[in-house]
Amino acid sequence: MRLLGTITPDRPLLVVAVREEAAHLDDRLPVLLTGIGKVNAAAALATVLAGGEKPSEVINLGTAGALRPGWEGTHHVVQVIQHDIDTPALYALTGRQYGAPLVVGKGEGPVLATGDLFVSDAAARERLAEHADLVDMEGYAVATVAHRAGLPVRLVKHVSDEAGEGAGHSWRESVDDCARHLADWVRTQGW
Assess contact for 112 and 136: CB atoms under 8 A.
Answer: yes
Residue length of the chain: 191
User: Rounded to an integer, what distance in angstroms lies between the CA atom of residue 27 and that of residue 31?
Assistant: 8
Assess contact for 60 and 154: CB atoms under 8 A.
Answer: yes
CB-CB neighbours of 150 under 10 Å: 8
- pLDDT by residue (tens digit) across 59-72? 999 999 999 999 99
**DSSP H/E element including 163:** none
Q: Which amino acid is at 45?
A: L
Mean pLDDT of 83-107: 91
Q: Identify which has the larger pLDDT, 190 or 66.
A: 66
User: Rounded to an integer, what distance in angstroms lies between the CA atom of residue 110 and that of residue 163?
Assistant: 15
Mean pLDDT of 1-27: 97
101-104: long-range contacts at Cβ-Cβ below 8 A with a sequence spacing of 24 or more?
102/140, 102/143, 102/144, 102/147, 103/78, 103/79, 104/77, 104/78, 104/79, 104/80, 104/143, 104/153, 104/154, 104/155
Mean pLDDT of 25-45: 97
- Beta strands 79-82 and 74-76 are unpaired
Q: Beta partners for 153?
A: 58
Q: What value, to the nearest 5°, has the Cα angle with vertex 141 and ends 87 and 157?
A: 110
CA atoms within 13 A on the CB side of 145: 26
> Is 78 in a helix, a strand, or coil?
coil
pLDDT score, position 88: 86
List the chain domain ranges.
2-188
Split at pLDDT 50, 70, 90, the class of 9 is: very high
pLDDT score, position 91: 87
Fold of 2-188: Rossmann fold (3.40.50)
Mean pLDDT of 137-151: 98
User: Rounded to an integer, what distance in angstroms lies between the CA atom of residue 76 and that of residue 91?
Assistant: 30
pLDDT score, position 169: 63
